[in-house]
Chain A
Amino acid sequence: MAEPLTIALPKGRLTDGALALLARAGYPVPSNGDNGRKLVLEGADRRLRFIMAKPSDVPIFVEYGAADLGIAGLDVVREAERDVYEPLRLPFGYCRLVVAGKADRPDRPLRLERSPRVATKFPRLTEAFFRRRGLAPELIVMSGSVELAPLVALADLIVDLVQTGTTLRENGLTELRVVLESQAVLIANRASYRLRAGEVRALIDALAANGMCKA
């Protein structure tokens, strides 16, 4: 029996969407009861093995070949800048990475800002976004509750993911610019894409076919 393909899944926001899509595509997936404790799970038909990873680690697992494939947000993939293939955009996990500031802040062009102090979990994308506009942002890299930063004068602006905008509104913040439109993507290890081409292609095609049905 051949080794199963290993797929790294993000724990959290995208888990349910990823499992549901894989199930629709005909791959038995671990039940949600397992979710949380065991980090490596076997699919019932031994075609897939699942690694439950922190979302930002998914591209690393895949780049290094610890996983053949992975599902992650495009935001995470672009931020990580890992050398992986991205064969498919998946129809869930839609959100956007935005620049936000306090709602009472005058909305003038960012290029006229001095050197904004920006709190974010996405330093690379944030830096690139401001640099492209000729600005030298002062980055404050955080790992949680970024929307807190402007409220306590830790930062002028934040760059963070927004789904509906409720969290921003509740904290008196408003969306100023979109940095990136994000959704879930399937990523693939460059070696696995070659060495296990048949199985990888079958999975891509199955996900693509079942992704279309849903919309």
Chain B
Amino acid sequence: MPAQVFSLDRPLPEGVRDLLFADAAAWRELESTLRQTWTAWGYREIILPAFEYADTLATDVGAEIDAEMYRFFDRQGRTLALRPDMTIPTARVVGTRLYDQPLPLRIAYVGSVFRYEPPRAGRQHEFGQAGVELIGAAGREADAESVALAVAGLRAAGLPTFRITVGHVGFFRGLLNALALPEKLAGQVRRAVDRKAEAELAALLVEAGSVAPAARAALLGLPRLTGGVETFAAARPLCLNARMTNALNDMETVAELLDAYGVADVVTYDLAEVRDLDYYTGITFEGFAPGLGFNLVSGGRYDDLIGHFGPPQPAVGWALTLDRILLARELQGVIQAEPAADVLLGAATCPACLRWAAAARARGLQVEVDPLGLAPDELWRSACARGIPRVVIHDRDQGLVVRNAAGQRTVVADDWEEVLRWRNR
């Protein structure tokens, strides 16, 4: 082996990476699987710009993502930003361009998004997102469709084990109304619920002083309102106002529909889920897989967003992180093979061989033609080194000869039945 030469003077900036062949193939296959899935559900893809005005992208995103945006200036000194997600640009498109189109709109997208966040669990500063938005439908049917499509996407992605947890911001918002805590304490309660810090809730209630017993019981019971559909029965007696009851009714109907969609086995419910409380307006959901502490997919209903850009529209949708799906799949033992051609073909100067190659490619075979004029043994070594299972050469006397690990024999040039079995897919 010659000495390895590494170049140290061309580093990549922090947060970006190259994906080489097997990873790139897995990535593109995942994209194409997801595209097939959402297309089958009637969603149509749009392609969005990678950057736009920063104040557009900063609409309603919350302080965290706002702080994580890549901002820069155009030549007039206006602030631009790389998109930190695709929902905001989609909402802009709907609000400014599609506002009079027949509803509902079903929109899908896939592409890179950019955030200055600590690189963690398969997510760099640039990472791949794919998502769907169902716009102009306010009901529980739309909520259920969105969750069911997320499950369909993860199943199609070939992820053996995962769970989707569905929550509803209305339940906790209603509870906060009933508790009527001072703002600071309400914030602490919310953070404690977000961390599932059960014991802290009791301490915070002591601090709050006089709280109605029913509201106290509801708050202390909240962390246990997680699990299967039996959760709803446990939550029912804790409802203190119409808001909580409505949220619970929403969840129950969504659960029934998810059963009908055939996805109930991977869905659980969590009425104590309070992430992104300010952004979402109805159901919320997150998907998890074993061994990965970060969500693979997250989504929910956000009826207030599109109104920032045009006539208000109810909307529900989700986005998943491609990098994390691939990582989760790998953690569960799904190995992506290194891509290799089906055939390495010798004799680039032989017209009959090139005609055979064209015919084979037209039938879906991956054919590499040797451009170096290698001798038969060298050709076979070259094929082995690159994982190509067979070589075909043209012999003046015998015609086409195929060689693989088992040995060497002639093939009839137009015996496509045999050749089609070589397709490695």
Contacts and interface: CB of A to CB of B under 8 A. Distances in A.
B294 A190 contact: yes
Interface stretch (A60-68, A129-137, A142-150): A60-68
Contact of A65 (B197, B227, B291): B291
B291 A197 contact: no
B290 interface: yes
A89 B200 contact: yes
B290 A195 contact: yes
A189 B293 contact: yes
Given A63-B293, A65-B292, A188 B196 contact: yes
Given A64-B121, A83-B293, A191 B288 contact: yes
Nearest to A66: B291
Contacts of B196: 85-87, 188, 193
Contact of B288 (A62, A88, A194): A194
Contact of B292 (A84, A188, A191): A191
Interface string B221-232: 001001100000
Most buried by B among A65, A193, A204: A65
B197 A87 contact: yes
Interface residues of B, number: 24
A88 B268 contact: no
Nearest to A3: B290
Contacts of B120: 63-64
A62 B197 contact: no
Nearest to A81: B118
A62 B195 CA distance: 14
Contacts of A65: 290-293
A200 to B, nearest CB: 10
Interface in B125-166: 161, 163, 165
Interface in A178-215: 188-195, 197, 204, 208
Contacts of A190: 288, 293-295
Interface string B271-306: 000000000000000001111111100000000000
Given A83-B293, A88-B199, A194-B163, 18 more contacts: A64-B292, A65-B290, A65-B292, A84-B195, A84-B293, A85-B195, A86-B196, A86-B197, A86-B200, A189-B293, A191-B290, A191-B294, A195-B163, A195-B288, A195-B289, A197-B226, A197-B227, A208-B199
5 contacts: A87-B197, A89-B200, A189-B293, A190-B288, A194-B268
